[in-house]
Amino acid sequence: MRFDSLKTKYLPEIARIERESFSAPWTEAMYAPDVEDENAVYAVGVDESGAVVCYGGFHKVLDEAHITNIAVRACDRGKGYGSALMAKLIELARQSNIARMTLEVRDGNECAVGLYKSFGFSVEGIRKRYYENRFDALVMWLTIGEESNIF
């Protein structure tokens, strides 16, 4: 697998992976502005045939990286692609002089929470009924650079 930036040609596959991954999936139209947005940084994992294996990205807000979505296609989960993707996003954040990264994850998504904790993210808040006005979101943060707890 190699990583590419977000390109329009990937959007149909990303939208398909969104639908198999999330109850409120982002559509192609929702991702389209990020293709041109210089403050949007994405990594798209592509296999030898050019198919999308995983993707994730963040929006730069001053020196913070606000992660939008992270997903691995269903047939390839549990094989280390999520870890490779997160490592790539942290590398891209460092290159962008980001100090802290943050994301929201649905409370109870043990797989994703385990992934984030393994990279040093910690839960610093809870947004009540954030998803579909039903499920709580955990707000997780990671400090990178000098104060990082993983490097």
List the end-to-end C-alpha distance of the chain, in Å, as a whole number.
Answer: 24
Under the criterion CB under 6 A, does residue 105 sit at the interface with ligand COA? Answer: yes
Under 8 Å between Cβ of 41 and 96: yes
Pick from 82, 90, 92, 98: which binds ligand COA (CB under 6 A)?
A: 82
Catalytic residue among 10, 13, 55, 104: 104
Q: Helix, strand or coil for residue 118?
A: helix
Quickly tell me which residue has 């001053």 as its tokens: 62
Which residue type is seen at 91? E
The CB-of-4 to ligand COA minimum distance in angstroms stands at 18
Is 150 a binding residue for ligand COA by CB under 6 A? The answer is: no
Question: Taking the CA of residue 73 as centre, how many other CA atoms within 13 Å lie in the half-sphere pointing to its CB?
Answer: 16
Given candidates 5, 8, 39, 83, which one binds ligand COA under the rule CB under 6 A?
A: 83
Footprint of ligand COA (CB under 6 A): 21, 70-72, 77-83, 105, 109-112, 114-115, 118
Q: Which residues have a catalytic role annotated?
A: 104, 116
